[in-house]
């Protein structure tokens, strides 16, 4: 529980009624060193936290825990609702999923917040040019690439399902708007690729535009992600906050880290309704582990984000000001800073920050209100079943089927003749594509092919078809070609829920 502030005639003092317990995972490689440094700074500032250490990371993969964490760790985190973690390594080549991604997805931390700002003492191209950077990237954190659903349809053809949902998009986009208000931002942009990915990115953009109507005080815009990247490396000062889908947000987040000095200066928060995770997202740096020279700044900045989230805004401001003052004074670890000034060790850097608690940088520090009561993740003990979101009242209509087939060395016209044999009075064969490009009934001899086609059957005008009929077409087609996958063609409230092929 945050502190209570009591004021007397001459003295102000704070009485902590109870400490708030959080789960802490030290991490792999340099993780334990930088975590120890950060927690020492917290202790020096009397942050009212109590820590329960949990077992996660590479050693637990090696011990046979396929998820990278013990059952006890999972139970502790779910009980406490908040995890502060160091960088973790996922063993390569063992077929296991990333512990970092698994944790974010299992606990539905749908919004990844990364704050990027110019820091005195951290020299970049932009700091040399006198261009200040202060922007926030909000990345969708559990869908899209993180779905991780892939299949080899043939030996030569791999596909991945890019899952973008309306409820998931709404969660992260609404969080982005609320974050913008909280930070006093006046602008929020949506980065996307809806010009090409018309249904997936199109759904994300459509959701953004709908929710934007609820926030008339915030100026909104949308920008294609490749154009966004160009503008970020030429005029980053023009942006305040950007919300993106998972993969695009991943790329743009690291790009922005490069603008301010690297991942060593990039805090990260993974926000969910019930459980949240604060972590450093840089690597475990095993080559310097145990040498006491690692830079704890990213983890400390992530911890400062966590303190604000928990309502410890005064503690957060004091620690952040001490960090900024320390950097302003030229104190640095070996990975950055003025090389004419001897580098501090991890512990030495932490000691300098501790010595500077209460000091404010010359260029203006941050301010914090007295610690606030917070209701962060207060509902996580009350869940009795999985949350399920379904949009109701939508009229659905089945209009056809795409059958993906491996057709050996058949040419498009030959495959079309086989497909026509499987037609019924209810259907027409309307299109065959290869890698998304139409190759029948029209196409180009210069379109190079692979051994997997999409064959599209659509119902005739005035006909009504059933799911069983659509599956029957695919089953019947399998007598002539290997069926790799099947997708129904749907309309929702009269709007088609599928894309045309290039050239169709």
Q: What is the pLDDT of residues 98-127, one digit of tens each?
A: 888 889 999 999 999 999 999 988 999 999
Lowest mean pLDDT among 139-143, 244-248, 423-427, 457-461: 423-427
Task: Kindly tell me the number of DSSP H helices and DSSP E strands found in the chain.
Answer: 14, 20
Lowest mean pLDDT among 57-61, 221-225, 392-396, 426-430: 57-61
Lowest mean pLDDT among 53-62, 141-150, 294-303, 360-369: 360-369
Using the predicted structure, report yes or no on whether residue 218 has a pLDDT greater than 90. Answer: yes
Q: Do domains 111-271 and 396-496 have the same CATH topology?
A: no
Which of residues 102 and 215 earns the better pLDDT score?
A: 215
pLDDT band of 375, cuts 50, 70, 90: low
Note the pLDDT of residue 1: 42
Q: What is the pTM of this model?
A: 0.90
Return mean pLDDT, the chain.
91
Distance CA 113, CA 249 (A): 10
Query: Among candidates 501, 427, 482, which has minimal Cα distance to 157?
Result: 482
Note the pLDDT of residue 10: 37
Average pLDDT over residues 168-175: 97
Using the predicted structure, report yes or no on whether residue 2 has a pLDDT greater than 70. Answer: no
The 8-class DSSP code of residue 454 comes to E
Note the pLDDT of residue 95: 64
pLDDT band of 94, cuts 50, 70, 90: low
Note the pLDDT of residue 9: 37
Using the predicted structure, report yes or no on whether residue 3 has a pLDDT greater than 70. Answer: no
pLDDT band of 16, cuts 50, 70, 90: very low
Q: What is the pLDDT of residues 382-423, one digit of tens each?
A: 678 888 888 999 999 999 999 999 999 999 999 999 999 989
pLDDT band of 374, cuts 50, 70, 90: low
Lowest mean pLDDT among 2-6, 257-261, 372-376: 2-6
Q: What is the pLDDT of residues 288-343, one digit of tens each?
A: 999 999 999 999 999 999 999 999 999 999 999 999 999 999 999 999 999 999 99
Q: How are beta strands 157-163 and 267-271 bridged, if at all?
A: unpaired
Using the predicted structure, report yes or no on whether residue 23 has a pLDDT greater than 60. Answer: yes
CATH of 18-107+282-391, one of 3.20.20.70, 1.10.10.10, 3.40.718.10, 3.40.50.300: 3.40.718.10
Distance CA 51, CA 19 (A): 10
Pair 465, 456: CB distance under 8 Å = no
Q: How are beta strands 82-85 and 20-25 bridged, if at all?
A: parallel
Distance CA 14, CA 144 (A): 46
Using the predicted structure, report yes or no on whether residue 372 has a pLDDT greater than 90. Answer: no
> How many Å is the maximal CA-CA distance in the chain?
94
pLDDT band of 481, cuts 50, 70, 90: very high
Note the pLDDT of residue 5: 45
Average pLDDT over residues 185-205: 97
* Percentage above 70 pLDDT, the chain: 94
Using the predicted structure, report yes or no on whether residue 467 has a pLDDT greater than 50. Answer: yes
| CATH dotted code for 396-496 | 3.30.70.1570
Note the pLDDT of residue 292: 95
Q: Write down the residue that tokens 């704050």 correspond to.
A: 115
* Percentage above 90 pLDDT, the chain: 81
Count CA within 13 A, CB hemisphere, residue 300: 31
Q: Which residues pair with 53 in a beta bridge?
A: 24
36-40 long-range contacts, CB within 8 A, separation 24+: 37/296, 37/299, 37/300, 37/346, 37/347, 37/349, 37/350, 38/296, 38/299, 38/300, 38/303, 38/350, 40/347, 40/350, 40/354
Q: What is the pLDDT of residues 28-68, one digit of tens each?
A: 999 999 999 999 999 999 999 999 999 998 888 888 778 88
Q: Which residues pair with 134 in a beta bridge?
A: 117
Q: Which CATH superfamily is domain 111-271 in?
A: Isopropylmalate Dehydrogenase (3.40.718.10)
Q: Strand, helix or coil at 321?
A: helix
Using the predicted structure, report yes or no on whether residue 162 has a pLDDT greater than 90. Answer: yes
456: its two tokens:
């599209």
For the chain, what are the domain ranges? 18-107+282-391, 111-271, 396-496
């Amino acid at each position: 529980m945050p502190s209570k502030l009591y004021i007397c005639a001459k003295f102000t003092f704070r009485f902590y009624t109870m400490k708030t317990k959080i789960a802490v995972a030290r991490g792999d490689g340099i993780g334990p060193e930088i975590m120890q440094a950060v927690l020492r700074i917290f202790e020096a500032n009397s942050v009212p936290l109590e820590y329960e250490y949990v077992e996660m990371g590479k050693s637990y993969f090696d011990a046979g825990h396929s998820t990278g964490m013990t059952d006890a760790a999972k139970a502790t985190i779910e009980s406490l609702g908040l995890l502060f973690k160091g960088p973790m390594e996922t063993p390569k080549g063992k077929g296991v999923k990333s512990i970092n991604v698994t944790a974010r997805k299992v606990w539905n931390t749908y919004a990844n917040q990364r704050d990027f700002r110019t820091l005195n003492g951290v020299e970049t191209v932009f700091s040399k040019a006198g261009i200040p950077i202060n922007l926030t990237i909000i990345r969708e954190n559990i869908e899209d690439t993180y779905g991780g659903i892939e299949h080899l349809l043939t030996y030569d053809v791999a596909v991945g399902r890019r899952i973008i949902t309306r409820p998931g998009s709404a969660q992260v986009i609404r969080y982005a708007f609320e974050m913008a208000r909280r930070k006093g931002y006046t602008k929020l942009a949506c980065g996307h690729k809806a010009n090409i990915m018309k249904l997936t990115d199109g759904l994300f953009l459509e959701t953004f535009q709908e929710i934007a109507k609820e926030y008339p005080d915030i100026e909104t815009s949308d920008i294609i992600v490749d154009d966004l990247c160009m503008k970020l490396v030429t005029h980053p000062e023009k942006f305040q906050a950007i919300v993106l889908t998972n993969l695009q947000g991943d790329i743009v987040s690291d790009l922005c880290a490069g603008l301010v000095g690297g991942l060593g200066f990039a805090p990260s928060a993974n926000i969910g309704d019930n459980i949240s995770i604060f972590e450093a997202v840089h690597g475990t740096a095993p080559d310097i582990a145990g040498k006491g020279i690692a830079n704890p700044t990213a983890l400390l900045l992530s911890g400062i984000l966590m303190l604000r989230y928990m309502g410890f805004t005064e503690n957060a401001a004091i620690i952040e000001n001490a960090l900024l003052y320390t950097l302003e004074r030229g104190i640095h670890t070996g990975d950055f800073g003025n090389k004419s000034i001897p580098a501090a060790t991890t512990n030495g850097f932490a000691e300098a920050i501790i010595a500077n608690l209460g000091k404010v940088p010359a260029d203006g520090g941050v301010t914090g209100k007295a610690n606030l009561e917070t209701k962060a993740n207060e509902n996580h003990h009350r869940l009795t079943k999985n949350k399920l979101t379904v949009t109701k009242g939508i009229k659905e209509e089945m209009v056809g089927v795409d059958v993906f087939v491996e057709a050996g060395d058949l040419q498009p016209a030959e495959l079309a003749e086989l497909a026509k044999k499987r037609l019924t009075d209810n259907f027409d064969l309307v299109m065959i594509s290869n890698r998304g490009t139409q190759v029948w009934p029209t196409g180009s001899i210069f379109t190079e092919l692979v051994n997997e086609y999409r064959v599209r059957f659509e119902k005739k005008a005035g006909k009504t078809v059933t799911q069983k009929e659509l599956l029957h077409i695919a089953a019947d087609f399998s007598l002539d070609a290997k069926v790799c996958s099947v997708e129904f063609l749907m309309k929702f409230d009269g709007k088609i829920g599928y894309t045309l092929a290039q050239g169709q």
